[in-house]
Amino acid sequence: MPASKQLHPEDAQVLLSVMQILFSDPIVKAERWWRTELKAERIFKEMRERDKRPLEAVNFEWVALRAKQWTQKKETTTKK
């Protein structure tokens, strides 16, 4: 492996720092809010009506709905 591609202890520290940020409570709460509380359906519905594009962002609505269902399912199974 070339010297420029070798890993160093500092690289591991940077990775751990990034992971600590990504899994911090505020970030986890923000992701949960985005997936479950954003009311994506209303936002995209209004956009489609305004722009007269009936299929615009339908896939985003589907993802938001599936994420909400998945989160609810996981939260109920972990509470048991």
Write down the pLDDT at residue 72.
86
> What pLDDT score does 68 carry?
81
Residue 1 lies in a domain: no
Based on the structure, what is the number of domains in the chain?
1
Closest CA to 62 of 35, 31, 80: 35
In tens, the pLDDT along 32-76 reads 777 666 677 788 888 899 999 998 888 887 887 888 888 888 888
Please indicate, yes or no, if residue 75 is contained in any of the structural domains.
yes
Confidence at residue 50, expressed as pLDDT on a 0 to 100 scale: 95
- CA separation for the pair 62, 57 (Å, rounded): 9
Q: Are 35 and 64 in contact (CB under 8 A)?
A: yes
Q: In this structure, how many other beta carbons lie within 10 angstroms of the beta carbon of residue 48?
A: 16
- The structure's pTM equals 0.46
Q: Is 19 domain-assigned?
A: yes
Alpha-carbon span 55 to 10, nearest angstrom = 48
**Residue 64 CB neighbour total at 10 angstroms:** 20
Residue 1 pLDDT > 60: no
